[in-house]
Amino acid sequence: MSKALLEIKELRTHFFSDQRVVKAVDGVTIKVGEGEVVGIVGESGCGKSVTSLSIMRILKDTPGKIVGGEIEFEGRDLIKLSEKEMRAIRGNEIAMIFQEPMTSLNPVYTIGKQLVEVIQLHLKKNQQEAKGHAIHMLELVGIPRAQEIMNEYPHQLSGGMRQRVMIAMAMSCQPKLLIADEPTTALDVTIQAQILDLMREIRKENNSSILLITHDLGVVAEMCDRVVIMYAGKVVEESDVYTIFENPKHPYTKGLLDSIPKLGVKNVRLASISGNVPAPDEMPKGCKFAPRCPNAMKECWEREPELKALDENHTARCWLYEEKEAQ
C-alpha cells in the first residue's frame, strides 16, 4: 500500500440517550493510502456512515460522540483539532459527497451561490473568479447549460444532476481525500455509470484518495483497490478487492457474495443470510455475527474474536481461524 493519507485507529463513536448507549462504531481501524480507493461495505446500521461523519467531525448536533481512538490525516489527529481548524480542512483537504444530495444542498439558495461560497471560503477568490471557477467545475462534471444551472435551485434539478452538483462542490478545491457515502444510491444505472466514471477521472487527474461507502458489491468490484467489510460497528474482514471476491474468509463476507446473482445461472434461488442484524442494545456476548452464522461454535457465543492477520494483506475477525491455528 502507498503512504497512508488517512489512518483511523481504534475509533469509537457512541450515541447516548437516557436509556442506553449505542456503540455505532466500536474499535474501527482503517487506512487509506495516497491515490487509493478503499471501499467500506456492510448492511444498513453497521456503522459505515457514522465512520465517515466521525472523520468529518460533523456529529455536533446529534447524540453521537467520539469517545476513543485516533483519526490521523497527514499526521494530524483530527479529533484533537479545534472547530476552527476543522473548518479549514472540511471541503478543502477532505470533501464529502452525501447519500442524498437534496438534503445536503440548501433549498433556498441557488446552485451558483452555494458553489461560489465554498470556492471563496477556501480558495480566497473574488466573486467573479469564484463564479468562473464554479461554472468550470459544473462543466467538468458533465452538466449541460452550466451557466443557466448556476441560477437554478436544487428542486429544479433531477437526482443525477444534483449528485453531479455535489461532486462539483466536493471537488472544487481539489481535496486530497474524497469521502463518497452511497454516491449512486437511488440513481438509475445509466447515471450510476456516469457518476463512477466521473469519480475515476477525478482520482486520475488529482491523485485524490477516495473512501467509498456502499452496500453495492458491483460498485466495489469496479472502483476499489481494497475493501473493508463492517458488521455491527466493527471491521470483520479487510483485504485487496481481488482477494475479497476470490477468497473471502469471514462467513459474513461469504454470505454477502453468495447473495449476488450470477450471470448464466438460471432457476437457482439466491442465497441469503438468515436472521437480522442484532439491535444495538441487544448485542450478543461473543461474536456479533454468531446468531446468523452457519459455522458458529461454542467459542463464538462466549468471547469476541480479535481481528486476525491471515497473511500480509488479509485480516478477518473469526474464531474459525483461531481454531485452525491452534490445531
- In a domain, residue 119? The reply is yes
- In a domain, residue 123? The reply is yes
Last residue of a domain, one of 134, 155, 172: 172
- 181 has which bridge partners? 213
Q: Determine phi and psi for 67, rounding to 5 degrees.
A: -105, -5
- In a domain, residue 231? The reply is no
314-324: pLDDT as tens digits: 999 999 876 55
- In a domain, residue 321? The reply is yes
Last residue of a domain, one of 149, 172, 195: 172
Q: Put residue 230 in one of left, alpha, beta given phi > 0 → left and psi -120 to 50 → alpha.
A: beta
pLDDT at 231: 94
- In a domain, residue 77? The reply is no
Name the pLDDT band for 66 (thresholds 50, 70, 90): very high
Set of cell numbers at residue 244: 475479497
Name the pLDDT band for 177 (thresholds 50, 70, 90): very high
**Distance between alpha carbon 217 and the CA centroid of its chain, in Å?**
13
- In a domain, residue 311? The reply is yes
Q: Which of 86-90, 157-161, 166-170, 227-231 ranks highest by mean pLDDT?
A: 227-231
- In a domain, residue 322? The reply is yes
293-317: pLDDT as tens digits: 998 999 999 999 999 999 889 999 9
Identify the CA nearest to 54 among candidates 88, 94, 84, 17.
94
Structural domain count, the chain: 2
191-246: pLDDT as tens digits: 778 888 888 888 888 888 999 998 888 889 989 999 999 999 999 999 999 999 99
Set of cell numbers at residue 36: 487509493
- In a domain, residue 215? The reply is no
9-51: pLDDT as tens digits: 999 999 988 778 888 899 999 999 999 999 999 888 888 999 9
Residue 164 is part of which domain span?
Answer: 107-172
Set of cell numbers at residue 81: 483539532
Indicate the average pLDDT of the chain: 88
